[in-house]
Chain A
Amino acid sequence: KQEVTQIPAALSVPEGENLVLNCSFTDSAIYNLQWFRQDPGKGLTSLLLIQSSQREQTSGRLNASLDKSSGRSTLYIAASQPGDSATYLCAVRPSGSARQLTFGSGTQLTVLP
């Protein structure tokens, strides 16, 4: 069974710092990995989707990488801002017949002004 882990569970950084969020998964047979953002009391918003054949994806100040063989992904946030404060979740889509997303528990990020 696929398991997705995100460490740390919470992270606090000063504004302007570059930071990396980690996601690891146990089964490398995946179609893609997705990163989401969740603000308190809100739904999830998709940030980036990396297909299994890709190594990274970029959107603005966000860069996500994927190392399928080692079962790891990172989300790099450049020049963090207080508005980046949220919970970040990763999810993997397995490539077997049961293609349901498996989510990590998330990393709660606080960017201090």
Chain B
Amino acid sequence: NAGVTQTPKFQVLKTGQSMTLQCAQDMNHEYMSWYRQDPGMGLRLIHYSVGAGITDQGEVPNGYNVSRSTTEDFPLRLLSAAPSQTSVYFCASSHGTSGGPTDTQYFGPGTRLTVL
């Protein structure tokens, strides 16, 4: 299994540009989520999905869109990039969220985004 994969690894954008961060998992996990990690602020949830066709907002959703057309893929779209979106973005997945061992979160390697 490849686990959770993310592309690209690095990206530089200019203010106002749009782009899509890709995330895929091959573990047949229902639950997927996107986080951003900023120095001193830990990980903050952007959007999440509990299954194909179902998405919801997390703590910091403004400026981002998601969709979940398949179980495997969960892309994150930046609509109009701003310098405040400079961050490291992580995608994660788990089999469930009910508290048992299947709740273990698996993370991708991250995308380092710089917005100029």
- A-side interface residues toward B, CB under 8 Å? 4, 31-32, 34, 36, 41-46, 49, 51-52, 89, 91, 93, 95, 99-101, 103-106
Q: Is the CB of B106 within 8 A of A104?
A: no
Residue pairs across A and B with Cβ atoms less than 8 A apart, 26 shown, are: A31-B97, A31-B98, A32-B99, A32-B100, A32-B103, A34-B104, A34-B105, A36-B105, A42-B110, A43-B108, A43-B109, A44-B90, A44-B105, A46-B104, A46-B105, A49-B103, A51-B100, A51-B101, A89-B43, A91-B105, A93-B97, A93-B103, A100-B33, A100-B59, A103-B43, A106-B42
Report, as a range, how many residues of chain B touch the other chain: 20 to 34
Q: With A31-B99, A32-B99, A95-B99 given, is the CB distance from A101 to B109 under 8 Å? A: no
Report A44 CB to chain B, min CB distance, Å.
4
Cα–Cα, bound, A4→B45 (Å): 14
Distance in Å: Cβ of A65 to nearest Cβ of chain B: 17
